[in-house]
Structure 1
Amino acid sequence: MNASLDPCNALLLDNQLCFALHSTSLLMTKTYKPLLQALGVTYPQYLALLVLWETDGITVGDMSARLLTDPGSVTPLLKRLEAQGLLKRIRSKADERVVELHLTAQGRALHEQAKAIPGCILKSAGLPPEQLDEIKQALVTLRKHLGQSLASD
């Protein structure tokens, strides 16, 4: 939002950073939808799989922290992935309160199929990779500052 806006324009929808982020997120998710349907997963499931492809054997707590969500909301998503045969939830031998997440062979195989997705998204975005990386870095910085602001309240 432009700080120099007069009070009447400050509350216009199109002047809101939050709406620019929200509407872009909706369109990004819609862009992913057909690509992910071909894999048989939803966008939130895809995000969880990205984490597992990066760190197989992660705990539910670490998964929820990585996805910036609480464990209670990630558990139903993980149960659905398990029902699809993509991962196994296994109680830790060291501490039975801890649940570890392990990809199945089917979950690992899905990684190969997903490798084309980033290129498809890049093409749909219509911006050069360098510009998209700048946008991503700016969003990561914004997320960090917002998180710090919430933590200090």
Structure 2
Amino acid sequence: MDLNNGSTKKPLNVSVIDDDKIIRTILVRIIKAMAFEDYELDLEVFEDGLQFFETRRLGAEGEHFLIIDGVMPVMDGMEVLQKVKKIGVGRNIHVLMLTGRKNKLDIERALKLGADDYMTKPFSIKELQARIERLIKRMK
């Protein structure tokens, strides 16, 4: 007897890496409210990049979607992005930079380093939700 009703959902590891507790709380609410037809959501939050890497989360099976703040203590968001792309070469890891850095050079650098999207703070919750949904749909 199949207890999953024939469901073959893939794991979707969503990691929110932001030093601002309010932003983390908002992002968790947005993501938990979303419906993921093809995925089983595994959501974790981290206060900084070092904490994220110490958990070895990128080693978890399944797809990975990261929301990374650009300005954080200990390990800056650009450093996190660079390390994620280096570790995850050849893997399906999608990254949304969500940062207060509005400088065109920062945006260009993040995109060149492999960010899939870049959004500045303050942000519209509806726009952020639409961008997250679009990026996750592209992961299939």
TM range (shorter): under 0.3
Superposition TM-score, scaled by structure 1 size: 0.25
Superposition TM-score, scaled by structure 2 size: 0.26
Higher relative contact order (CA 8 A, sep 6+): 2
Query: Which structure: greater helix fraction?
Result: 1
Whose radius of gyration is greater, 1 or 2? 1
Query: Which structure: greater strand fraction?
Result: 2
